[in-house]
Amino acid sequence: MRSSYALVQRNFNLVRRDAGWELVFIVYEVVNVLTIGFIGVNGPKETMNERVLFLVAGALLWGFLSALFHEVAESVAWERWEGTIEYSFMAPQPRGVYMFGVCMWGILYGFVRTAICLAAVTLAFQISLAGADLGAALLTLAASSLAFIGMGLAAAVLPLISPEKGSPATHIFQAVVLLVSGVYYDVSVLPAWVRPLSRISPATYTLRAARAALLEGASVRELAPDLIILLMLGLVLVPIGFAVFSAGERYAMRTGKLKRNG
């Protein structure tokens, strides 16, 4: 546990060192969420609250999930960039401890960025959350973290086995999930041949459950089917993701690709 906490502390120090760049990224994300929210303002005033909340909820949830996925998937790329990959991977600690620390940091980092965006949204829009069940929405977010950690672990193998092109390739995962999960629209508008993909995407169930909690005030009991699916996906995807990452690590060691840049 102490080793995992040390990784969280190290990543925090890196963010503090590059605070200027972090500010740029956060401002970009805030502007992106606000831009999407203003799309919902354009229309009949009677349903404006529902439209804005639908879009903003999608943008905020996707911001958290993509930040979590990004931090886990690109952890290897950052290690290589910083020149610490050899030290981290040769340290006398199980690989699971290292990845647990990376995942802890991803969750904390995602929550902080989402909270900042939520504060900006609250200032920009007159959104009523009177009937929303915020506790159920937060529980949904927590339940979905496992599944996205599993996907991030699997995607992290790409920078490991391909130092040049692996990091950009991780965005393919995000693009597919963004397309099929109904982040900014209901999945019912997707072509019939695409809809089956939405059923295996964790983000689909996250968005559906969180929107039900925020827009309809659905309780944890009412969201139980989606929460159970999310937990089951997490229990399946985390071991698969870790197995894929371990296989990629062995391949990188055998072929000499596990080294720092330069």
List, for residues 118-177, the tens digit of each pLDDT value. 888 888 887 777 778 888 988 998 899 889 888 888 888 887 777 767 777 778 888 888
Mean pLDDT of 109-118: 87
Q: Which residue has the higher pLDDT, 1 or 74?
A: 74
Note whether 238 and 146 are within 8 A (CB).
Answer: yes
**Position 260 in a domain:** no
Among 4-18, 200-214, 229-243, the least confident range: 4-18
Alpha helices, DSSP H, located in the chain: 2-17, 19-41, 48-73, 75-82, 85-90, 95-124, 134-155, 157-161, 166-180, 195-199, 202-215, 220-255
Residue 261's pLDDT is: 55
**Position 31 in a domain:** yes
- Whole-angstrom CA distances from 81 to 35, 74, 159, 216 are 32, 10, 11, 45
**Position 262 in a domain:** no
**Position 261 in a domain:** no
Q: Which residues, other chains included, contact 225 with Cβ-Cβ below 8 Å and sequence gap of 6+?
A: none
If pLDDT is split at 50, 70 and 90, which confidence band does 110 have? Answer: confident
Backbone angles phi, psi at 42, to 5 degrees: -75, 100
Note whether 220 and 139 are within 8 A (CB).
Answer: yes
Note whether 85 and 167 are within 8 A (CB).
Answer: no
Number of domains the chain is built from? 1
Mean pLDDT of 213-229: 91
Structural domain boundaries, residue 175: 2-255
If pLDDT is split at 50, 70 and 90, which confidence band does 258 have? Answer: low
Can you give the pTM of this predicted structure? 0.83
Backbone angles phi, psi at 194, to 5 degrees: -95, -30
